[in-house]
Structure 1
Amino acid sequence: MLATRILLHASTITITVACVLGIHSARADDLALTEAVTMAGMQLFLDSGAPGIVIGAVRGDDMVIQGYGETAPGSGIEPNERSIFRLASVSKVFAGDVLASLAAKGKLSLNDPLSTYAPTNARVQSNGRPITLLDLATHSAALPRELPNPDAPPSDNPFSVFDRAYYWHWMGSNKPAYIPGTSTLYSNLGYGLLGDALAKAGGSNYNTVFTNEIAIPLGLKDTGNELNDDQKKRLMTGLDPFNNPDPNAMVPEVMYASAGLYSTGEDMVRWMKWHLDGARQQRGDTLLAHQMWLPYDGLTSVVGTEVSDADGMGLGWVVSLPRDGAPLLLGKSGGLGGFMTYVVLSPSRDLGIFVVANRVSFAMFNGLHSRVRELAAELAR
């Protein structure tokens, strides 16, 4: 069995990134953090059946990234802090970051109607009240989970059926199933529309707006919706539910906000550290991103948004109030293109944990969730 360990202490981060994260001095290595992550990572790897996993954790100024197994079956190459993987639906909380950033700068309001950002000549039907950007971000716009174009031409790319023009055409002739804000229905369609709205509010395409608002300010060198040649060489091979190598089909731009991002363990710990620093500093964009905007209590129905052990929705985050020894947690999972991902933040405990496995197994979701939440309870202070 192959395993590699990378300890990122505050003193090892480059000066540029240290300025971004506000790190001024090193702390002693956090032995408890290292040992807890080691045990959790090994268990997750053995239970997952995946060729490899990468796990990263942040507590205070200490950060740990560990890799287990192989980047691809039989490769003999250990995953490390620079291995590339797909974030899948964890991309949604990054879209929430873009939304919070633009709102904090006054470029949009969370309660803006979606229709404000619709393409020229496009219409958005309403049911009881208009769909807002906040409805989209909290999966409460009462829209379908997916919306494939039935007239899409045959293609080897399974994502080619998701078409921006068809999304907006459909919105013009179909009302939301319920009054927005009264139920949750997990919707990749909704996040596609949100990505378009963020692009328009930011004055460019979504990838550029994401890069300018999040990737560049945070120093995320390997987090984006498109891979360069060097990044393609570092991409782990994901396995589909039948253990076949996934072909890594590119998603169309309308899927960027819902599931398009690639990243690395190194970038994920930087991003988690930025979130935790923002919470401690009471930064405006972070306060927006961490708020529970839609409590589940009182909703007509809650479908597809990780209902068990959860209490409401933030900007893409599933919010769980403290229980069973675990602190308040913001969580998000994903599965796409041979990768399964899960991230939790506990802003009140200065704690973040991320894990990715390069194998899609929906039966593994519950085990992955429970073990990460157990680790959060162990590390909470």
Structure 2
Amino acid sequence: MLASRISSLLSTATLVLACVISFNPARAADLALTEAVSMAGMQIFLDSGAPGMVIGVVRGDDFVIQGYGETAPGSGIEPDEQSIFRLASVSKVFAGDVLASLAAKGKLSLSDPLSKCAPESVSLQSNGRPITLLDLATHSAALPRELPNPDASPSDNPFAVFDRAYYWKWMNSNKPPYVPGTSMLYSNLGYGLLGDALAKAGGADYNTLFISEVAAPAGLKDTSNVLSDEQKKRLMTGLNPFDHPDPNATVPDVMYASAGLYSTAADMVRWLQWHLEGARQQRADALLAHQMWLPYDGLASVVGTEVSDADGMGLGWVVSLPRSGTPLLLGKSGGVGGFMTYVVLSPNRDLGIFVVANRVNFAMFTGIHSRVRELAAELAR
């Protein structure tokens, strides 16, 4: 039995290695980088139980993109740099980029009260001090994680219960239970409000603002909240927590800032390179985006995000200070619509790593998280 199991594992590993070798659109000149990514990617894929997985790594001027498995169960098609997937909550750090860009241009301040960007009909309740845009970006506005509309009509789309009008109606009559800035409570509601606030401050709808402030400057070609017919043909099939194909329900525009984006590995590499270039150039928006704005130390509560190996919040990023050989990392995970995603950025080490698997299983995130951080430690200069 043991010999049979070992043989099976070796066969699987051989098949995966063959996939890695056959898919080589973006192989780094740095052999150590290529080998490290190959080994880490294979381990993450085998441990994930997902039909397919893609990893993209940037270090300095080099980058590697590698795909494993299948774009859909039984498809026989390997995912590659052009395969499309949902970013899920990694969308939040892109919203943080929009916020940083508008702040760098003087169109808003991180300390602006939400009331400044709220609809005119809304009179926001306060507890100690007003909610600011920075509170929303760092999940410290003392808001619930989700806010479904109890009066929403029945729908096959699970996201149809989230709507803009109800968000603001609720905010108009509910006071935060804690003083903003004193607790960290992960909130998709908060990012829905942030997206609306950014749109008002930027003078355009959020999607248009995202394109002008982030997608265009970073050279992103396939990162969008709405897919074209051509892009839909490249969309991977994700599995839900019950291992059934996810129907890929669309999200309402009030969710764009929190979980709306689709992307590709090629675009994620471009985006990581844009961030790292910004760090090297000391670009104002990058400096804002890479800061830790809310240390966990001294907060009354930290709920809904990584805590044990993290130290605070940036603009959507979970910030981990250097420890045990791992460099300073900005990280963000996501899981929705059949996809699990994780990205880390180390601006001072010129390093970025992105992983996506087309299966939602939150138990497997621990393995992805630890292996990506180990890879970051291996690759840190």
Which residue in the other structure is 2:153 paired with?
A: 153
Which residue in the other structure is 1:8 paired with?
A: 26
Which residue in the other structure is 2:374 paired with?
A: 374
Which residue in the other structure is 1:64 paired with?
A: 64
Q: SS in structure 2 opposite 1:240?
A: coil
Which residue in the other structure is 1:329 paired with?
A: 329
Return the alpha-carbon distance in structure 1 between the equivalents of residues 258 and 211 of structure 2. Answer: 16
Which residue in the other structure is 1:22 paired with?
A: none
CA drift at 1:119 = 1.0
What are the residue-to-residue correspondences of 1:135-154 with 2, within 5 Å? 135-154=135-154
Partner deviation per Cα, 1:165-205 (whole Å, 9 max, x = no partner): 00000001001121000010000000000000011111111
Amino acid at match of 1:205: D
Q: SS in structure 2 opposite 1:189?
A: helix
Contact 1:60 1:350 survives alignment (8 Å) = yes
- The alignment status of 1:39 with 2:39, answered yes or no, reads yes
- The alignment status of 1:170 with 2:174, answered yes or no, reads no
Contact 1:327 1:377 survives alignment (8 Å) = yes
Return the alpha-carbon distance in structure 2 between the equivalents of residues 94 and 30 of structure 1. Answer: 29
- The alignment status of 1:289 with 2:289, answered yes or no, reads yes
Return the alpha-carbon distance in structure 1 between the equivalents of residues 276 and 245 of structure 2. Answer: 35
Which residue in the other structure is 2:115 paired with?
A: 115
- The alignment status of 1:271 with 2:271, answered yes or no, reads yes
Partner deviation per Cα, 1:73-124 (whole Å, 9 max, x = no partner): 0000000000000000000000000000000000000000001111121121
Q: SS in structure 1 opposite 2:26?
A: strand
**Any unmatched runs of 5+ in structure 2?**
1-14
Amino acid at match of 1:298: G
Return the alpha-carbon distance in structure 2 between the equivalents of residues 260 and 343 of structure 1. Answer: 16
CA drift at 1:145 = 0.1
Which residue in the other structure is 1:240 paired with?
A: 240
CA drift at 1:7 = 4.7
Return the alpha-carbon distance in structure 2 between the equivalents of residues 241 and 37 of structure 1. Answer: 27
Partner deviation per Cα, 1:11-70 (whole Å, 9 max, x = no partner): xxxxxxxxxxxxxxxxx8111111000001000110000000000000000010000000
Return the alpha-carbon distance in structure 1 between the equivalents of residues 40 and 107 of structure 2. Answer: 42
Contact 1:117 1:197 survives alignment (8 Å) = yes
> Which 4+ runs in 1 deviate beyond 4 A?
none
Contact 1:140 1:184 survives alignment (8 Å) = yes
Partner deviation per Cα, 1:266-294 (whole Å, 9 max, x = no partner): 00000001101111111100000000000
Which residue in the other structure is 1:310 paired with?
A: 310
Which residue in the other structure is 2:209 paired with?
A: 209
Amino acid at match of 1:236: M
What are the residue-to-residue correspondences of 1:219-230 with 2, within 5 Å? 219-230=219-230
Which residue in the other structure is 1:186 paired with?
A: 186
Identity of aligned pairs, percent? 82
Contact 1:149 1:166 survives alignment (8 Å) = yes
Contact 1:6 1:81 survives alignment (8 Å) = no
In structure 2, the CA distance between the partners of 1:6 and 1:119, relative to structure 1 (3 Å rule), is farther
- The alignment status of 1:127 with 2:127, answered yes or no, reads yes
CA drift at 1:6 = 3.1
Return the alpha-carbon distance in structure 1 between the equivalents of residues 62 and 142 of structure 2. Answer: 41
Return the alpha-carbon distance in structure 2 between the equivalents of residues 219 and 327 of structure 1. Answer: 27
Report which stretch shifted further, 296-305 or 69-78.
296-305
Return the alpha-carbon distance in structure 2 between the equivalents of residues 126 and 290 of structure 1. Answer: 29
Return the alpha-carbon distance in structure 2 between the equivalents of residues 63 and 240 of structure 1. Answer: 30
CA drift at 1:216 = 1.2
Amino acid at match of 1:6: N
- The alignment status of 1:359 with 2:359, answered yes or no, reads yes
CA drift at 1:8 = 3.0
Q: SS in structure 1 opposite 2:355?
A: strand
Contact 1:118 1:197 survives alignment (8 Å) = yes
CA drift at 1:140 = 0.2
Which residue in the other structure is 2:5 paired with?
A: none
Q: SS in structure 1 opposite 2:144?
A: coil
Return the alpha-carbon distance in structure 2 between the equivalents of residues 215 and 346 of structure 1. Answer: 21
Contact 1:7 1:63 survives alignment (8 Å) = no
Q: SS in structure 2 opposite 1:168?
A: helix
Contact 1:91 1:258 survives alignment (8 Å) = yes
Report which stretch shifted further, 89-98 or 28-37.
28-37
Partner deviation per Cα, 1:279-327 (whole Å, 9 max, x = no partner): 1111100000000000001111111121110000000000000001100
Return the alpha-carbon distance in structure 2 between the equivalents of residues 203 and 238 of structure 1. Answer: 35
Which residue in the other structure is 1:24 paired with?
A: none
**Any unmatched runs of 5+ in structure 1?**
10-27
What are the residue-to-residue correspondences of 1:96-107 with 2, within 5 Å? 96-107=96-107
Normalised by the length of structure 2, the TM-score is 0.94
Return the alpha-carbon distance in structure 2 between the equivalents of residues 7 and 376 of structure 1. Answer: 22
Amino acid at match of 1:41: G
CA drift at 1:353 = 0.2
Contact 1:8 1:62 survives alignment (8 Å) = no
Amino acid at match of 1:8: A
Amino acid at match of 2:292: M
Return the alpha-carbon distance in structure 2 between the equivalents of residues 148 and 167 of structure 1. Answer: 9
- The alignment status of 1:50 with 2:68, answered yes or no, reads no
